[in-house]
């Protein structure tokens, strides 16, 4: 017993820097998660979660006779057909498995939580999943990629100090949670490639089901994992196929449990989900989203092949990009020269995911909007190559201090920028491209800053009835306290027309204009009272009626 305790103490001592880093990261998130504004997608995701959760309540009611009707009190979901069969729910194919714990918390509170509390819980939950995935990312680097604690920690710091990713880690319960799931999924894939014991198969199956449920493209990770497993075990093909079949079966079972629409058609439903997202069209709207790209608006269905590449370039710290190219070239040379038995299958695994998906995106040109947030899950593999590049040049170049100094300065500049611009890190552009990028690329897509603007109005105006126009994000008042929500009504003239102006503003007490692409010609009856800028970008402007 004493030996075990001493061993644990020695482990803690040898990893104290790493432990301190993660403790610091956790408490930073814990004390700042309320600083971030509200995204309209959060409202939509909560709707989807509630509607799917209702199916679980139906099962409980049918099997036990116990009626749990708390959720029916949330009248705001009625227009989405809360009481109807899930087959006719327009967004039935959206996966919400990973979000179920949040709605269960609300269930325990009988859905009586203040709406702001409900969304703050979701912010904290999103961050916690992100935080857990950072631990897994460290373990991927330490155990399977670099196999060096020092570089594993540096690589994790690279990922954490990536402003766009970190900023989304509090409110983006879809894209950032999916990225986090992909990291954890990749870890268990690597574990399975090394050791296909039954316990690893179960763990892999559970996280794979959650990943695919979150986004169907998550299936590409396990698909590539299967290919790698077959390449590694050609001589024991029968045994390998049995292991893969076990993963498939258990994944299917887990996916079935967390995907209510699967209960209606277990065989054909996966194909319907695949078809729905590969030919995506909003079930309730014919409107096609527009993107601001290279100084002009472009339909999200007509994106050029270079869209994702340019977005990655302008939103990633330049030192990461340089190291990424060095690491990628190093990997390619290694794959050509190294014999199979010396090949790092895990590096091949991550690079296959990264470059295969990038190639498919450039060829297929899927619908994307909001920058490249749909593919943030490719960012960790980019960082993996960056840290491989860093280790390579430090080992090859004699003047190591120069390289280390450059990296430290770059990381510190990121940290300083993130602190100065907190909580708007999601609007980051690389300093090298920033002056050009802010004029040619979309920013503040979710209009997160509208919440901050609304809080300012609530602070300066104590009137009982305030009517506010808010570009696009008409739900930005949900994070206000209950008293302010009662007296402040928010409206968006046209929820979809993000880039179109509106000439009927005379009925509003205030206008929150968070769209820098529009003119202010139609605001002749208003005066500007506040404007928020960051790096030359106007995040929002508040106009008050004269």
Strand partners, 527: 544
Q: Which of 156-165, 274-283, 299-308, 417-426 has the lowest mean pLDDT?
A: 274-283
The token pair that represents 437 in the structure block: 């990028």
Model confidence over 412-440: pLDDT tens digits? 999 999 999 999 999 999 999 999 999 89
The token pair that represents 202 in the structure block: 């179960």
Model confidence over 142-172: pLDDT tens digits? 999 999 999 999 999 999 999 999 999 999 9
User: Does 499 have pLDDT greater than 70?
Assistant: no
For 175-215, what is the HEC assignment?
HHHHHHHHHHHHHHHHHHHHCCCHHHHHHHHHHHHHHHHHC
Contact 57, 133 (CB under 8 A): no
Q: List CB contacts of 78: < 8 A, sequence separation 6 or more.
A: none
Q: Which fold has domain 449-545?
A: D-Maltodextrin-Binding Protein; domain 2 (3.40.190)
CB atoms within 10 A of CB 40: 18
Taking residues 35-64, what's their average pLDDT? 87
Contact 510, 466 (CB under 8 A): yes
Residue burial 125-149, b: 16+ Cβ < 10 Å; e: rest? bbbbbbbebbbbbbbbbbebbbeee
Model confidence over 73-131: pLDDT tens digits? 554 444 445 556 788 888 889 999 999 999 999 988 888 889 999 999 999 999 999 99
pLDDT for residue 72: 57
- Rounded Cα gap, residues 115 and 104, in angstroms: 15
Taking residues 463-491, what's their average pLDDT? 90
For 423-440, what is the HEC assignment?
CCHHHCCCCCCHHHHHHH
User: Does 8 have pLDDT greater than 90?
Assistant: no
User: Of residues 384 and 338, which shows the higher confidence score?
Assistant: 384
The token pair that represents 238 in the structure block: 């029968």
Contact 512, 545 (CB under 8 A): no
pLDDT for residue 79: 46
Q: Which helix (H) or strand (E) is 485 found in, with range?
A: helix 482-487
User: Does 236 have pLDDT greater than 50?
Assistant: yes
Domain ranges of the chain: 33-292, 449-545
Model confidence over 180-197: pLDDT tens digits? 999 999 999 999 999 999
Taking residues 345-368, what's their average pLDDT? 95
pLDDT for residue 82: 53
pLDDT for residue 279: 76
Secondary structure letter of residue 91 according to DSSP: T
User: For residue 476, which of 420, 514, 426, 425 has the smallest C-alpha distance?
Assistant: 514
pLDDT for residue 239: 93
- For residue 499, the SS3 value is coil
Q: Which of 8-12, 26-30, 192-196 has the lowest mean pLDDT?
A: 8-12
Taking residues 173-186, what's their average pLDDT? 97
In the predicted model, what is the mean pLDDT of the chain? 89
Contact 175, 39 (CB under 8 A): no
pLDDT for residue 416: 97
Q: List CB contacts of 437: < 8 A, sequence separation 6 or more.
A: 314, 315, 429, 430
Taking residues 473-480, what's their average pLDDT? 88
User: Does 494 have pLDDT greater than 60?
Assistant: no
User: Of residues 278 and 308, which shows the higher confidence score?
Assistant: 308
- Rounded Cα gap, residues 432 and 535, in angstroms: 12
Rg (CA), the chain: 25
Percentage with pLDDT > 70 across the chain: 90
Taking residues 7-28, what's their average pLDDT? 84
Contact 259, 213 (CB under 8 A): yes
Dihedral of CA 375/449/46/189: which sign? positive
How does residue 358 score in pLDDT terms, banded at 50, 70 and 90? very high
pLDDT for residue 522: 65
User: Does 53 have pLDDT greater than 60?
Assistant: yes
Taking residues 275-279, what's their average pLDDT? 82
User: For residue 34, which of 127, 114, 165 has the smallest C-alpha distance?
Assistant: 127
């Amino acid at each position: 017993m004493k030996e075990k305790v001493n061993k644990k103490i020695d482990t803690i001592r040898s990893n104290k820097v790493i432990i301190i880093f993660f403790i610091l990261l956790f408490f930073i998130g814990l004390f700042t998660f309320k600083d971030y504004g509200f995204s309209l997608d959060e409202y939509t995701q909560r709707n989807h979660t509630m509607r799917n959760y209702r199916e679980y309540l139906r099962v409980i009611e049918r099997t036990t006779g116990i009626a749990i009707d708390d959720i029916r009190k949330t009248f705001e979901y009625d227009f989405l057909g809360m009481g109807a069969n899930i087959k006719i729910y327009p967004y039935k194919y959206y996966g919400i498995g990973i979000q179920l714990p949040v709605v269960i918390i609300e269930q325990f509170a009988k859905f009586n939580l203040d709406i702001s509390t409900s969304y703050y819980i979701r912010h904290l939950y999103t961050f916690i999943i992100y935080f857990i995935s950072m631990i897994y990312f460290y373990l991927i680097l330490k155990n399977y990629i670099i196999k060096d604690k020092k570089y594993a920690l540096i690589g994790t710091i690279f990922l954490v100090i990536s402003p766009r990713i970190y900023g989304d880690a509090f409110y983006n319960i879809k894209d950032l949670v999916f990225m986090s799931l992909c990291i954890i999924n990749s870890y268990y894939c690597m574990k399975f490639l090394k050791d296909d014991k039954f316990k690893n198969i179960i763990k892999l199956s559970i996280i794979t089901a959650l990943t695919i449920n979150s986004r169907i493209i998550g299936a590409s990770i396990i698909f590539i994992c299967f290919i790698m497993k077959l390449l590694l075990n050609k001589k024991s093909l029968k045994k390998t196929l049995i292991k893969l079949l076990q993963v498939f079966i258990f994944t299917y079972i887990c996916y079935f449990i967390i995907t209510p629409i699967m209960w209606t058609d277990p065989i054909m439903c996966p194909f319907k989900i695949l078809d729905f997202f590969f030919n995506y069209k909003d079930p309730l709207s014919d409107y096609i989203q527009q993107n601001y790209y290279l100084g002009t608006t472009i339909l999200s269905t007509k994106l050029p092949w270079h869209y994702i590449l340019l977005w990655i370039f302008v939103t990633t710290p330049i030192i990461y990009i340089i190291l990424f190219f060095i690491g990628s070239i190093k990997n390619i040379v290694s794959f050509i020269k190294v014999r199979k038995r010396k090949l790092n299958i895990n590096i091949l695994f991550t690079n296959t995911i990264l470059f295969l998906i990038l190639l498919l995106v450039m060829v297929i040109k899927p619908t994307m909007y909001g920058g490249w947030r749909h593919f943030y899950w490719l960012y960790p593999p980019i960082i993996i190559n960056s840290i491989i590049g860093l280790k390579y040049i430090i080992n090859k170049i004699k003047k190591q201090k120069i390289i280390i100094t450059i990296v430290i300065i770059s990381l510190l500049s990121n940290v300083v920028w993130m602190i100065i611009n907190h909580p708007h890190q999601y609007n980051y552009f690389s300093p090298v491209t920033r002056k050009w990028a802010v004029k040619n690329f979309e920013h503040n897509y979710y209009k997160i800053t509208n919440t901050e603007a609304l809080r300012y109005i609530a602070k300066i105006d104590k009137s009982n009835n305030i009517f506010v126009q808010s570009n696009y994000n008409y739900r930005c008042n949900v994070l206000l306290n209950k008293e302010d929500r009662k007296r402040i009504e928010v409206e968006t003239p046209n929820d979809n027309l993000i880039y179109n102006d509106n000439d009927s503003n005379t009925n509003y007490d205030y206008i929150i204009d968070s769209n820098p692409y529009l003119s202010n010609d139609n605001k002749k009856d208003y005066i500007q009272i506040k404007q928020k800028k960051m790096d030359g970008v106007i995040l929002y402007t508040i106009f008050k009626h004269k």
